[in-house]
């Protein structure tokens, strides 16, 4: 007997083969139960080899290795917590697991102190102690009194809110500088006068050909008159160009803005139209003794950005500009200019105390910059947040301290001193939580942790920017409480969620208010499409019998040929069409697993590579 040659064509063709992953089996005269790509099979369902369909696992099992404990899953919930807000304002999405510093940042705030870790609380009010118009000055460097000017009226402001009228020397006094521990220097139309802490006015320098604005740096007076800078001492006398003139800028339209000092240098900022430059001068030894070098360019501001004010603090230059605020770091006579810390509005004044810089903006608002908290790879991009505010005010032209109290000069308001009362209300808006994916989620609840025995905290939520809906108010608890996240008019699930916490001070004791320690969101994934796993027990023999009509199909090599083609299809890893001719289904699938169980023993005449294929498909549509 001649054995069949399996290299010959199969008695039953497998179909019109093209590209196996894109090919679809077309029903011919031979009836099969299913087709995987263009490979037809009959089912072989039994107790040992069941036909099964199930939803694919949606949440992967994983070890919780997050830096934030428990953030992966507890009881299958997705959790997102925040207990530190000292990274400041400026993020849209809160994604702490990305390691980009967002774990301590938020979207926006107003009227709250976010830097007093571990709690967020209401700021203190600013109380107006003396009214003023639009021509204001104030200098306060943390001593018991500060000097305030509105128009031609001068007042010494005390830490307890006292206001003492004083009259400086000279005609049309303008421009204030402070000699620490000694006197104020006040410029006037022909020189500079001296004003004691008790209000005694004296002439200091006279004979100038025009109004002078004094600055105190490197233990001397730097007096600006137009494009000129003079160096003067506290001894006083008559201003003489040949003796006291230090530098004249070559441009006749140049305006000097500020002169400040760092450890070994003095820095001079100015502008010509929309262009600004910062100059530096240092001390060098000469035959006549130590002298300051001619000013050299240290920083050039980008075109269109000009300096409006400049202060120094330690080795930092605090630079206010028409576009925002920058910090520069100095080293001797060199300086590195940092990026705009914000660029949504310009700034007009700055001061520093402790770890923070305080910057005056428009509309009576200030912002606080944490000089010890860096928020990006750029070492001069610092954390910031909105800080003290004077409602209804104009530009904050001066920021300073009387004792430990923040004091502001605000156009159209006057001089305001930090009060013992808290502001009536304030808010903090979190970044949007989306768990690193755009798939929908069911946000179930928020746990609020804090001390709300005084005042209250209102909670609102939003699924899009600035569309917040009130959820509830919480009060009278110290510890934690849970709030269901039911947003009016917003049907869950959502791609992302942001919370807004609105703080209200106590109605009877105005110095008390709520404190927020943190929050935690609890959610479940709710993808719009759920994958399905289809487990198929398939007959894979050399010879098979079709149930309809009892037709015998196949021949030697029929089983192995289909098995090989199925494995080739699996290796492509791309979706293909699965058909179930019993139900009329056609699904886009990939192969999850192929298991072959051989059942037919070979004999002398038949190799019998045959058995049962257990194929698991994952739907991809």
Please determine, for residue 288, whether its predicted confidence score (pLDDT) is greater than 80.
Answer: no
Percent of the chain, pLDDT > 90? 70
Instruction: Kindly give, in sequence order, each residue whose CB lies less than 8 Å from that of residue 434, ignoring residues fewer than 6 positions away.
Output: 93, 95, 441, 495, 496, 497
Please determine, for residue 212, whether its predicted confidence score (pLDDT) is greater than 90.
Answer: yes
Decide which of 582 and 409 is more confident. 409
In the structure encoding, which two tokens stand for residue 358, read together?
């305080």
Please determine, for residue 14, whether its predicted confidence score (pLDDT) is greater than 80.
Answer: no
Predicted pLDDT at 543: 80
Q: What is the mean pLDDT of residues 11-37?
A: 62
Residue bearing tokens 């992966």: 72
Predicted pLDDT at 614: 94
Is the domain 78-104+427-525 a CATH 1.20.1070 member? no
pLDDT digits over 162-188, tens only?
Answer: 999 999 999 999 999 999 988 999 999
Lowest-confidence pick of 112-116, 247-251, 525-529: 525-529
Q: What is the mean pLDDT of residues 548-567?
A: 79
Predicted pLDDT at 531: 85
Please determine, for residue 16, whether its predicted confidence score (pLDDT) is greater than 70.
Answer: no
Give the whole-angstrom CA distance, residue 574 versus residue 563. 18
Question: So where are the chain's domains?
Answer: 34-56+531-619, 78-104+427-525
pLDDT digits over 323-356, tens only?
Answer: 999 999 999 999 999 999 999 999 999 999 999 9
Give the whole-angstrom CA distance, residue 392 versus residue 130. 15
Cβ(167)–Cβ(202) below 8 Å: no
Q: What is the mean pLDDT of residues 129-144?
A: 95
Q: What is the mean pLDDT of residues 556-565?
A: 87
pTM comes to: 0.82
Please determine, for residue 604, whether its predicted confidence score (pLDDT) is greater than 60.
Answer: no
pLDDT digits over 89-106, tens only?
Answer: 999 999 876 555 678 999
Confidence band for 1, pLDDT divided at 50, 70 and 90: very low
Decide which of 553 and 616 is more confident. 616
Q: What is the mean pLDDT of residues 597-610?
A: 69
Predicted pLDDT at 199: 92
The C-alpha angle with vertex 619 and arms to 618 and 621, in degrees rounded to 5, equals 155
pLDDT digits over 364-392, tens only?
Answer: 999 999 999 999 888 899 999 999 999 99
Predicted pLDDT at 385: 98
In the structure encoding, which two tokens stand for residue 445, read together?
């609840």
Please determine, for residue 6, whether its predicted confidence score (pLDDT) is greater than 50.
Answer: no
Pairing of strands 201-206, 237-238: parallel
Instruction: Kindly give, in sequence order, each residue whose CB lies less than 8 Å from that of residue 208, ignoring residues fewer than 6 positions away.
Output: 190, 191, 223, 225, 239
Tell me which residue of 246, 253, 290 sits closest to 271, measured CA to CA.
253
Predicted pLDDT at 611: 87
Predicted pLDDT at 435: 86
Predicted pLDDT at 96: 78
Instruction: Kindly give, in sequence order, each residue whose CB lies less than 8 Å from that of residue 181, ignoring residues fewer than 6 positions away.
Output: 143
State how far the alpha carbon of 226 is from the alpha carbons of 208, 250, 252, 421, in Å.
12, 12, 8, 44
pLDDT digits over 388-409, tens only?
Answer: 999 999 999 999 999 999 999 9
Please determine, for residue 72, whether its predicted confidence score (pLDDT) is greater than 60.
Answer: no
Please determine, for residue 488, whether its predicted confidence score (pLDDT) is greater than 80.
Answer: no
Confidence band for 70, pLDDT divided at 50, 70 and 90: very low
Average pLDDT, the chain: 89
Predicted pLDDT at 558: 85
pLDDT digits over 291-314, tens only?
Answer: 999 999 999 999 999 999 999 999
């Amino acid at each position: 007997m001649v054995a069949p040659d399996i290299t010959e064509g199969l008695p039953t063709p497998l179909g019109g083969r093209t590209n196996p992953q894109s090919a679809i089996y077309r029903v011919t005269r031979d009836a099969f139960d299913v087709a995987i790509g263009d490979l037809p099979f009959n089912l072989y369902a039994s107790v040992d080899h069941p036909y099964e369909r199930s939803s694919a696992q949606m949440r992967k099992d994983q070890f919780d290795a997050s830096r934030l404990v428990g953030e992966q899953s507890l009881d299958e919930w997705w959790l997102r917590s925040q207990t530190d807000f000292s990274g400041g304002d400026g993020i849209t999405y809160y994604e702490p697991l990305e390691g980009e510093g967002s774990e301590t940042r938020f979207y926006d705030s107003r009227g709250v102190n976010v830097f007093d870790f571990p709690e967020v609380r209401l700021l203190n009010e600013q109380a107006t102690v003396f009214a003023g118009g639009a021509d204001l000055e104030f200098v306060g460097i943390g001593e018991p009194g500060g000097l305030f000017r509105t128009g031609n009226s001068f007042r010494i402001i005390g830490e307890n809110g006292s206001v003492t009228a004083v009259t400086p020397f000279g005609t049309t006094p303008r421009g204030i500088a402070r000699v620490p521990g000694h006197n104020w220097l006040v410029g006037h139309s022909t020189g500079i006068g001296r004003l004691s802490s008790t209000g005694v006015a004296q002439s200091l320098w006279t004979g100038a050909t025009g109004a002078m604005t004094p600055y105190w740096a490197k233990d001397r007076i730097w007096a600006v008159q137009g494009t000129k800078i003079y160096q003067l001492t506290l001894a006083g006398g008559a201003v003489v160009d040949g003796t006291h003139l230090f530098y004249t800028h070559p441009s006749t339209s140049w305006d000097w803005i500020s002169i400040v000092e760092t450890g070994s240098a003095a820095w001079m900022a100015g502008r010509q139209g929309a262009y600004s430059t910062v100059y530096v001068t240092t001390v060098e030894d000469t035959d006549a003794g130590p002298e300051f070098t001619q000013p050299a360019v240290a920083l050039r501001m980008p075109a269109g950005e000009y300096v409006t004010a400049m202060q120094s603090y330690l080795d930092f230059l605090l630079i206010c500009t028409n576009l925002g605020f920058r910090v520069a770091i100095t080293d001797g006579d060199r300086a590195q200019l940092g990026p705009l810390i914000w660029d949504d509005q310009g700034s007009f004044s700055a001061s520093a105390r402790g770890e923070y810089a305080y910057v005056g903006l428009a509309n009576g608002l200030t912002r606080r910059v944490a000089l010890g908290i860096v928020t990006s790879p750029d070492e001069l991009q610092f954390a910031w947040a909105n800080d003290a505010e004077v409602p209804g005010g104009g530009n904050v032209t001066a920021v300073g301290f009387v004792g430990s109290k923040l004091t502001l000069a605000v156009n159209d308001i006057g001089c305001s001193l930090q009060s013992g009362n808290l502001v009536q209300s304030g808010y903090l808006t979190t970044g949007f939580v989306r768990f690193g994916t755009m798939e929908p989620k069911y946000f179930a609840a928020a746990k609020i942790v804090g001390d709300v025995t005084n005042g209250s905290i209102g909670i609102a939520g939003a699924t899009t920017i600035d569309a917040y809906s009130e959820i509830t108010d919480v009060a009278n608890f110290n510890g934690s409480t849970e709030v269901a996240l039911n947003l009016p008019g917003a049907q869950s699930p959502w791609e992302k969620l942001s919370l807004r916490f609105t703080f209200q001070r106590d109605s009877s004791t105005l110095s008390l208010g709520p404190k927020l320690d943190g929050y935690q969101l609890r959610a479940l994934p709710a993808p719009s499409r759920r994958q399905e796993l289809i487990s198929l027990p398939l007959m894979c023999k050399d010879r098979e019998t079709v149930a309809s009509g009892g037709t015998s199909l196949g021949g030697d090599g029929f089983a192995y040929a289909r098995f090989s083609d199925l494995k080739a299809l699996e290796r492509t890893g791309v979706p293909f069409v699965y058909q179930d001719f019993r139900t009329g289904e056609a699904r886009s699938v990939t192969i999850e697993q192929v298991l072959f169980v051989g059942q037919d023993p070979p004999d002398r005449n038949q190799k019998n590579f045959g058995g049962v294929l257990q194929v698991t498909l994952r739907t991809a549509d």
